[in-house]
Homo-oligomer: A and B are copies of this chain.
């Protein structure tokens, strides 16, 4: 077991009746609020009006139109507005993209130059405006972590920065705001939460039992609640569980003492980059193939635990038999219950970029992780995805 630092301090208001606390919390930081949002769905849903009503008496500025892959250029514009107007606090209203953009904007407000410098490590975040968020979609966990992903179109790059200074100070999690998330997006988001947890669970240093049990619980929560939320989009309990699980799957708590190499994400990023595939979908395709590849006599005990404690496979089973049943159940869940595409073939994708994708993953040597993967291993996994 490794030593670790746990440092998550976002205050969470959870529930459908918490917006009454918005003004008291936002005004702790000053009078001038910059409201950040995306494509305008918050106007159609009425959330925008509710927020303005709650913030009555404060000076509210606006910056809408954050893209689903937020650009550094957009963030820079928002940061300029913060400087010009002397903004005291940023209120991010949306999903992961809006919150990510807001976090980097909060830091760029105190920086003269392109915010991309934080991502490229040319500059270090030294100060940031406080960020308050109102979450409208459960998946990325940005509402309760210190990471933000930004896209640079000019450089064709998408990368992240992590800093305690940009962790949201306060987040409002209202499950009813996710009632309108579509069945397909709910499936992708759920696959994403499941995968965040799964990647951490299968770790070379197996770490702390207590955190294993929490991860098993996170996965059980997704397994039980995702189908309910897909079928009955306004099932409060299902939406609430997915929302709170999504924050904890990735805020650092369960990852505490584990090495951080996420192989399925690396494999999935290749697919996303070449085929513009939704993140959760690419993970759903890759994960079971990765499992079958890394399952061996040395790792079977871990897959046995996964099968028994996540999927309820009987503990009486022989280790390898139980392990395989756990993987089968994973496939059934992702491809039947969630209804996600079970292969690249279904999406009309062939093997034409596999060599290139694999080369990229092994450019600094084998892809390290739970079981180190050579270029041949990676190609085999991709082939099995067809």
A150 vs B225: C-alpha distance in the bound complex, in angstroms?
Answer: 43
- Beyond A217-B210, A240-B208, A241-B210, whether A17 also contacts B1 by CB under 8 A is no
Count A interface residues, CB 8 Å: 42
Partner of A256 from B9, B14, B237 at Cβ < 8 Å:
B14
Bitwise interface map of A from 6 to 21 toward B, beta carbon under 8 Å scored 1, else 0: 1111011111111000
A111 vs B240: C-alpha distance in the bound complex, in angstroms?
Answer: 42
Q: Which residue of B lies closest to A6 (CB)?
A: B12
A210 vs B9: C-alpha distance in the bound complex, in angstroms?
Answer: 20
Beta-carbon contact of B15 and A7 below 8 Å = no
Bitwise interface map of A from 193 to 234 toward B, beta carbon under 8 Å scored 1, else 0: 000000000000000111111101110110011000000000
Cβ of A3 to closest chain B Cβ, rounded Å: 2
Chain B residues with CB under 8 Å of A350's CB are: none
Cβ of A19 to closest chain B Cβ, rounded Å: 11
Asked if A28 CB lies within 8 Å of chain B CBs, one says no
Beta-carbon contact of B208 and A213 below 8 Å = no
Partner of A213 from B4, B17, B216, B315 at Cβ < 8 Å:
B216
Please report which residues of chain A, range 303-358, place their CB below 8 angstroms from some CB of chain B when the two chains form the complex: 312, 315
- For the complex formed by this chain, how many copies does it contain in all? 2
Partner of A221 from B6, B209, B224, B236 at Cβ < 8 Å:
B209
Cβ of A84 to closest chain B Cβ, rounded Å: 32
Beta-carbon contact of A209 and B241 below 8 Å = yes
Q: Which residue of B lies closest to A220 (CB)?
A: B213
Beta-carbon contact of B221 and A210 below 8 Å = yes
Asked if A245 CB lies within 8 Å of chain B CBs, one says yes
Asked if A155 CB lies within 8 Å of chain B CBs, one says no
A319 vs B7: C-alpha distance in the bound complex, in angstroms?
Answer: 41
Chain B residues with CB under 8 Å of A244's CB are: 208, 210-211
Most buried by B among A17, A217, A218: A217
Q: What are 10 contact pairs spanning A and B, CB under 8 A?
A: A3-B14, A3-B18, A4-B15, A9-B9, A208-B240, A209-B221, A210-B217, A210-B218, A211-B244, A213-B221
Chain A: residues with CB nearer than 8 A to chain B?
1-9, 11-18, 208-214, 216-218, 220-221, 224-225, 236-237, 240-241, 244-245, 248, 256-257, 312, 315
Q: A5-B18, A6-B14, A210-B245 are in contact. List 15 more A-B contacts (CB 8 A).
A: A1-B240, A2-B15, A4-B15, A9-B9, A14-B256, A208-B237, A208-B240, A209-B221, A209-B224, A209-B225, A209-B237, A209-B241, A210-B217, A213-B218, A217-B217
Q: Which 7 A-B pairs have the closest CB atoms?
A: A3-B15, A213-B217, A9-B9, A6-B12, A210-B221, A7-B11, A210-B245
